[in-house]
Chain A
Amino acid sequence: MTLHQAFEWLEATSVGVMVRESQWGFPILVAIHLMAITLSVGTLVWFDLRLLGVSMTRYRASLMYRRLTPWMFTGFGIMMISGLTLLAGFATAAYSNLYFRIKVLAMVLAAVNAIVYHRYTERRIKEWDDSPMPPAGARSAGLVSICVWATVIIAGRMMSYTMF
């Protein structure tokens, strides 16, 4: 099965049909998706700014991560579920849309950035946890995170204007 065939199958599922044909299903899902993005990215950006040494430098980076994580992950969870449900409704149109591809690529980069941070940079967090200015690796992770999530938001909004 090719990726395009998988998208055709997804669009033909009962969830896909429901999203397309329901009068209120689509706008309600988009609203939930947008609210979840503001919850997840809106809280993540404060951790990124801490990594950059720009804001809330009085707080330990590890403490900020611990306290913000439940909100970030709740937002990401809702965002992924609502996003996948929306995708089911218009999978083939999304498949050929440039901004959808940019959005997926940016999300993959965000995931890689998070994995690299947790596997390598965070291992030595005790050395810089209290420091107002974290090391270059942590600052890079914060900057990359802000850039890729801004790209996800931009590409996501552009999809609405170029797909239908």
Chain B
Amino acid sequence: MAFFAWLEATGVATTVRDSLRLTGALSSVHVIGFTLVTGGALVANLNLLGVLFPGRPPIEVTRPASRGIAVGLAISALTGLLLFAPRATVASVNWIFQLKMALLVTAILFHIFVHRRVARSPRHNHISGEFARSWSTSMQRATAVVGLLLWTGLALSGCAFILLE
């Protein structure tokens, strides 16, 4: 809590707090970053679900989509930190903000350690044969559903935090 109080008292936090237009500008860029994140996540997960480009290796879409997610996250994290600083003590104990952060971390870890691995071809994951192919497709679909739920939950909690804080 002392860290959040210190963060709130910094010059950067004061500058953001004192300027409504700067807060608005930061919020705008934050939403642009988040649009890149959700767009990338949506394209990657819909493709893994077999909806966008069936018959092509999902990793062909997951790779560029992951880059888009990374760029969006970098923009959102920087602007999010600047928006968080002026209200750190209040925001840090807000349950919607805590839920948003928990979903963010879970969604990122899930994308890196599960989605990217499952999106590779069965051969790459050292599995072969008809059963393995069918298992792989089921795994890909299950992963896509979990991914979509996590990123949608993150987007909803982000909207709720903006509006209900």
Contact = CB atoms under 8 A, between A and B. Distances in A.
B61 A27 contact: no
A163 B34 CA distance: 23
Nearest to A55: B64
Nearest to A37: B35
B32 A31 contact: no
Given A42-B39, A43-B43, A55 B68 contact: yes
B39 A38 contact: yes
B103 interface: no
B159 A30 contact: yes
A63 B53 CA distance: 9
A157 interface: yes
Nearest to A30: B163
Provide the main secondary structure of the chain B interface: helix
Contact of B24 (A35, A39, A150, A157): A157
Contacts of A153: 28, 31-32, 35
A41 B60 CA distance: 21
A30 B158 CA distance: 12
B36 A45 contact: yes
Contacts of B43: 42-43, 46, 68
A27 B159 CA distance: 9
Given A31-B156, A42-B36, A161-B23, A56 B42 contact: no
Interface string B131-149: 0000000000000000000
Nearest to A54: B64
A63 B39 CA distance: 18
B83 to A, nearest CB: 11
Q: Number of contact residues on A: which range applies?
A: 20 to 34
A43 B163 contact: no
Contacts of B27: 157, 160-161
A67 interface: yes
Contacts of A39: 38, 42
Interface in A19-75: 27, 30-31, 34-35, 37-39, 41-43, 45-46, 49, 55-56, 58-59, 63, 67-68, 71
23 contacts: A34-B159, A35-B159, A39-B38, A39-B42, A42-B35, A42-B36, A42-B40, A43-B39, A43-B43, A45-B35, A46-B39, A46-B65, A55-B68, A58-B60, A59-B53, A59-B56, A71-B42, A154-B32, A157-B24, A158-B28, A161-B21, A161-B27, A162-B20
Interface of B: 20-21, 23-25, 27-29, 31-32, 34-36, 38-40, 42-43, 46, 52-53, 56, 60-61, 64-65, 67-68, 155-156, 159-160, 162-164
Interface of A: 27, 30-31, 34-35, 37-39, 41-43, 45-46, 49, 55-56, 58-59, 63, 67-68, 71, 150, 153-154, 156-158, 160-162
